[in-house]
Amino acid sequence: MDCLFCKIIEGVIPSAKVYEDDKILAFKDINPQAPVHVLVIPKKHIASLDGIDSTNIDYVNHIFAKVPEIAASLGLGGGYRLISNCGDDACQSVKHLHFHILGGKKLAEAMA
């Protein structure tokens, strides 16, 4: 499968890892849109939020269980935003489920 984030998981494409375990990987976004911009992905190919089902929900649960710990490790005590773009209207560019953690400054109030 020609998936950029699956290749990052496999180590074929390098990434700046900030957290990893058996189910998820977090790494720095290559084009940061805030002082802290990290992507959290499941180590299983799920195309988007629309691809979540009973066979892969464990991976998604684990992402949510770990986000507070990852955010704390990034120094985001002042707060942060968690975003997942799903589909064309949301401008999803990589078709492997990912959650953006954005922070490190006062973010814009507008989200869209």
Q: Does 15 bind ligand AMP (CB under 6 A)?
A: yes
In the complex with ligand AMP, the residue whose CB is nearer, 27 or 76, is 27
In the complex with ligand AMP, the residue whose CB is nearer, 15 or 71, is 15
Instruction: Establish whether 98 is a catalytic residue.
Output: yes
Catalytic residue among 45, 62, 96, 98: 98
Q: Which residues, 6+ apart, have CB-to-CB distance to 15 below 8 Å?
A: 8, 25, 27, 28
Give which of 15, 43, 47, 10 is closest to 29, Cα–Cα: 15
Going by the DSSP 8-state scheme, the letter that residue 81 receives in this structure is E
CA distances from 67 to 12, 24, 98 (A): 25, 11, 12
Q: CA 9 to CA 21: how far, in whole Å?
A: 11
In the complex with ligand AMP, the residue whose CB is nearer, 54 or 102, is 102
Site string for ligand AMP, 80-99 (x = CB under 6 A): -----x-----xxxx-----
Find the binding residues for Zn ion in span 4-43 (CB under 5 A). Answer: 5-6
Interface residue list for ligand AMP (CB under 6 A): 4, 13, 15, 29-31, 39, 85, 91-94
